[in-house]
Structures are given as C-alpha cells and as structure tokens.
Amino acid sequence: AKNCVVIGVKDEQSVIGEYPHAFIELKEEFNGREGFALAAIKKEVAKKIPVRDRPRDDDYYVSEIVYAKEGKIDREETVKRLKK
C-alpha cells in the first residue's frame, strides 16, 4: 500500500455508533490487482488487530486519500468521497 487510514464512520447498527473503515491508497504496481492487495492486507490485519477493532470485511476501500493544505489526512473529505 502507498498509504492507508482507518476512520470511524457513523453506523447506527454499531453499539458505539461507528465502525472503522479502512481507506487504502495502492501503489501503481497494484493497478488491476486490487483484489489481491486487499486480500493480503486483510490477512495481515486479522493477525494483528482484535476483531472488535478491525473493519468489517466490506469496509475496506481502495480509494484516493485526501490531504489538507498542511499535509495531514483530511478524514472528512476522504469519507465524503466514499458516499458519492
């Protein structure tokens, strides 16, 4: 992965009101092989992160990550792109 971020997104089905969603920006070498890359990432996450803290299977997205002017990840804009 080139970069990734996990953001809590509101979800009324969740006990705590949100679920983690993983936004993954892949390196160009993975173009056309997104499924392979996602499977490898999910496998590593399953090894290292407790079930309660990891994104659900459908909550991994290959997406452009948006950055604010100061270079930090713009979480709000990144999530907005998901909803479009």
pTM of the model: 0.85
Kindly indicate the confidence band of residue 84, based on its pLDDT and cuts at 50, 70 and 90: low
DSSP line for the chain: --EEEEEEEE-TTSSSSEEEEEEEE--GGGTT-HHHHHHHHHHHHHHHS-GGGSPPTT-EEE-PPPB-TTSSB-HHHHHHHHH-
pLDDT digits over 36-59, tens only?
999 999 999 999 999 989 999 999
pLDDT digits over 26-39, tens only?
999 998 999 999 99
